Amino acid sequence: MNESGSDWTEELERWLAPFLERLGNKARRRMCPRYVTGLIGPGDRKSVQPMAARFAPGDYDQLHHFIAAGVWDAAPLEAELLVQADRLVGGDDAVLVVDDTALPKKGSHSVGVAPQYASALGKTANCQTLVSLTLARGEVPVMVGLRLFLPESWTNDPARLRQAHVPEDRQAFSSKPEIAIEEIDRIMVAGVCFGCVLADAGYGLSAPFRQALSARGLHWAVGIPRQQKVYPADVALIFPVAGHDRPRLRHIPDSKSIAAETMLSDMAWRTLSWRRGTKGRLSARFAAIRVRVADGPPQRIHDMGGQHMPGEEVWLVGERRTNGERKYCLVNLPDDTPLKTLLSRRAGSASRRISN
């Protein structure tokens, strides 16, 4: 029951109305609200038969057909979802959170199932992994993208793909960062408004992912491993003299790249609070410095071997939590951005709110 005392199923049908218009088929428009009601309504058993008995008496066959045999183009529904999500939480102060969603599985027949790292479980497990995109503003998240990742154990096995009826346009391998960029493009084309893309280190360690975001003119904050190499922001490119007094044909940086944790080790760390949690104000110690990421083209530099050249200038932000955990992220906001703004936009802050 809602606050006005009316039947919550009537309110649900009003909310579903724009989505039902996109379904087209009259029978689907009738069965969809009953299926959704069965999923979120009372009752522990969520299989078709008990749901039909509770919310669609006499319509078991139609409800079963809607779930098991109903095939339709998902694109119109996905387009409507983006419209409604943007209306609800879109805006310049919204964030788009890129993450993984793991579905633990037994057996080997579910499409994409394989032993792989499941972030929700914190370990490697037999599961399906989906790349998820969530639009969030304040404390309100709306999932706007969810796409299955196929490990190479699947994409390298054509017979397995055919047996599982994987569409031909989905059979080529795509990394999770590549899938995320494709989904971000889809969301941007739809006109969804957001101010920053957030992602954890699983995506942030990918230089092509960061570079693709920057190429699209997006602000981003991504987690990185502590070993991520960076240069000082004022690193200069020089043409050193080689043997026989001949200048080298390619310039090199005048300093060596170092790990992110090393770059911040001698910084002055400040204790700051960035928002209120369920148990009071959240605080930790932070440090931030402008750097250039070592993700440019690789090049041999003297006796150091192959090194990545300096890339984009960004903020490097470090976080030391009271439990001893340390986190690092890169943020490409302007160089005059206040530290508290960096904290609100850093990778992990919004995703922790969403997961909690």
The structure tokens listed for 121 are: 């479980």
Helix spans in the chain (H): 8-23, 26-40, 48-55, 60-68, 75-89, 152-155, 158-163, 176-189, 201-204, 207-215, 260-264, 339-345, 349-355
Q: What is the pLDDT along the chain (356 residues), one digit of tens a residue?
A: 344 445 787 888 888 999 999 887 888 888 888 889 888 888 778 788 888 888 888 888 888 888 877 667 888 999 999 999 999 999 999 999 999 999 999 888 899 999 998 877 788 999 999 999 999 998 899 999 999 999 999 999 999 999 999 999 999 999 999 999 999 999 999 999 999 999 999 999 999 999 999 999 999 999 999 999 999 999 998 876 666 656 666 788 888 899 999 999 999 999 988 666 677 777 889 999 999 999 998 887 766 667 899 999 999 999 998 888 999 999 999 999 988 888 877 655 544 445 44
- Residues forming beta bridges with residue 324, ordered by sequence position: none
The amino acid at residue 210 is R
Q: Kindly state the DSSP code that residue 241 receives in the 8-state scheme.
A: B
